[in-house]
A = this chain, B = another copy of it.
Amino acid sequence: MSPPPNEDRPIAALLVPDLLSLLDEDAPSVAVETEEMHPRDLADVAEAMPEERVVALLAALPPERAADVLEYLDEELRTAVLEQMTARQAATIVSEMTPDDRADVLDELEEEHADDILQQIPAEERRITEQLLAYEPDSAGGLMTTEFVSVPETVTAEEALRQVRLAARSGRREAMYAIYTTDRLGRLAGVLSLRELLAAPEGALVSDLAWEEVVQVPATADREEVAHMTSEYDLVALPVVDDQNRLLGVITVDDVIDAIQDEATEDVQKMGGMEALEAPYFQTGFWEIARKRGGWLLLLFFAEMLTITVLHGFEEKLQTVIALAAFIPLITSSGGNSGSQSATLITRALAVGDVELADAIRVVLRELGQGALLGSFLGLIGIGAALALGNPVAVGLVIGSTLLCVVIAGTIIGAFLPLIFTRIGVDPAIASSPFVASLVDVSGILLYVNIATLLLRL
């Protein structure tokens, strides 16, 4: 049976009363009753339960199963649940997680509580977890797991397969769909897929089967690069190496997918004119959101104040041709809209690698062409609208030529900003629609005032 779609989870909610009474009456049977459920679905049920009962539910499951469910819980609920457990209880469960997930979970907790739990974890696993916690969460080091299969390049395919089966039976969740080979100094020498290993003829050496050119990243690589490499090369796992080319860990494709989704969300939020949130909408506090929006709003507000200065100096002239005032919003918005189209196109093309810095001149010329074409189009309609409202031809010409110029200004500013930001090493996504629109507003008003002064001899 297909699990319920994520949009609405009526089935999860329906199961809650049954599970709660089973927990009361016969807790040990909960594990058996739920064993066929995907942990993601069981986590959905847990999220519909009172918080303190989630602790009881996890206690009733075998630790490795509890670890799976814990991984899928909302961050907020997960933190709350772990805080209600003793450090020993929590350690039993998080010990069963893969090292990367364990580090992620502990990273969310208050440091003191995380330390308490860490003290209860076996020494070797504690050491690995602490190493992973030292990496930036959004770097390759922060995304990788340290449990993977690597074999010396001198072994046979049969021996490698034996080690893969051993790893599969170990109970740990080692990344094993890509198998790495190492030279005698322990450096990464090659890679082969589990499929290639299974297809190997009798007696073959892994060194004959492995690909020597391994797609790899340093631990400091950004998640955008991780996403890019994985999708360009269609990988199931991406190896992470140190500066001696020794294998530190492996990033599995499910974490890459999460990274891609998070990266796109971050870009979209920046492009909407705010600082990116670090958690989902409802899990981010009201004041946190206000702060992340307020900063940008204020900056844009001050930039926009330049239009007041320009228009303030133009007031007397404006009073003599008051009809010009009515067109102010049309002019600023036309520039803003075409600018935001250009900025969005170029920013996204840069993010997915369709456009590179070397293409800058080609991009700007292309957008200049778009601006000239779309601007002439809107300009002609603008003249028509001005004349239809009974304005003299000269006013119509002012409106039309300002629209042409402001749309060109919009496309050029919109195309240039993401390229410039990329060049100076700033995320081009901050060249957001509101940011571009505000810059174009100022240039639009300047153009308007000057074109009007010139053509109307004010």
Q: What is the interface of chain A, defined by CB distance below 8 A to chain B?
A: 1-3, 5-8, 36-38, 40-41, 164-165, 168-169, 176-177, 194-196, 198-199, 211-217, 225, 228-236, 253-254, 256-258, 260-261, 264-265, 267-269, 271-274, 277, 280-283, 286, 289-290, 293-294, 296-298, 300-301, 304-305, 307-308, 311-312, 315, 318-319, 322-323, 325-330, 332-334, 336-338, 340-341, 343-349, 352-359, 362-363, 366, 369-370, 373-374, 377-378, 381, 385, 389, 432-434, 437-438, 441, 445
Contacts and interface: CB of A to CB of B under 8 A. Distances in A.
Nearest to A218: B2
Contacts of A280: 349, 352, 354
Given A286-B366, A334-B301, A349-B281, A344 B385 contact: no
A433 B268 contact: no
Contact of A281 (B293, B343, B354): B354
Contact of A337 (B195, B233, B297, B377): B297
Contacts of A290: 370, 373-374
A232 B6 contact: yes
Given A235-B254, A269-B348, A307-B329, 13 more contacts: A2-B216, A8-B358, A38-B233, A272-B343, A272-B433, A289-B370, A290-B373, A293-B370, A297-B338, A298-B381, A301-B334, A308-B389, A437-B437
A333 B332 contact: yes
B177 A215 contact: no
Nearest to A332: B329
A257 B253 CA distance: 9
B198 A164 contact: yes
B273 A337 contact: yes
A214 B1 CA distance: 7
A274 B334 CA distance: 13
Contacts of A294: 374, 377
Nearest to A253: B253
11 contacts: A38-B213, A256-B257, A268-B268, A282-B354, A282-B362, A304-B334, A308-B385, A312-B323, A319-B322, A322-B322, A329-B332
A378 B38 contact: no
A91 to B, nearest CB: 24
Number of copies: 2
A362 B341 CA distance: 31
A215 B294 CA distance: 42
Contacts of A5: 225
Contacts of A36: 211-213
Contact of A40 (B169, B212, B233): B233
B199 A168 contact: yes
Contact of A311 (B326, B333, B340): B326
A434 B337 CA distance: 5
Contacts of A349: 280-282
B301 A378 contact: yes
Nearest to A358: B8
B213 A441 contact: no
A282 B349 CA distance: 9
A438 B337 contact: yes
A257 B260 contact: yes
Nearest to A323: B315
Nearest to A390: B312
A235 B254 CA distance: 7
Contacts of A283: 354
B322 A304 contact: no
Contact of A274 (B177, B264, B296, B344): B344
Nearest to A299: B337
A322 B315 contact: yes
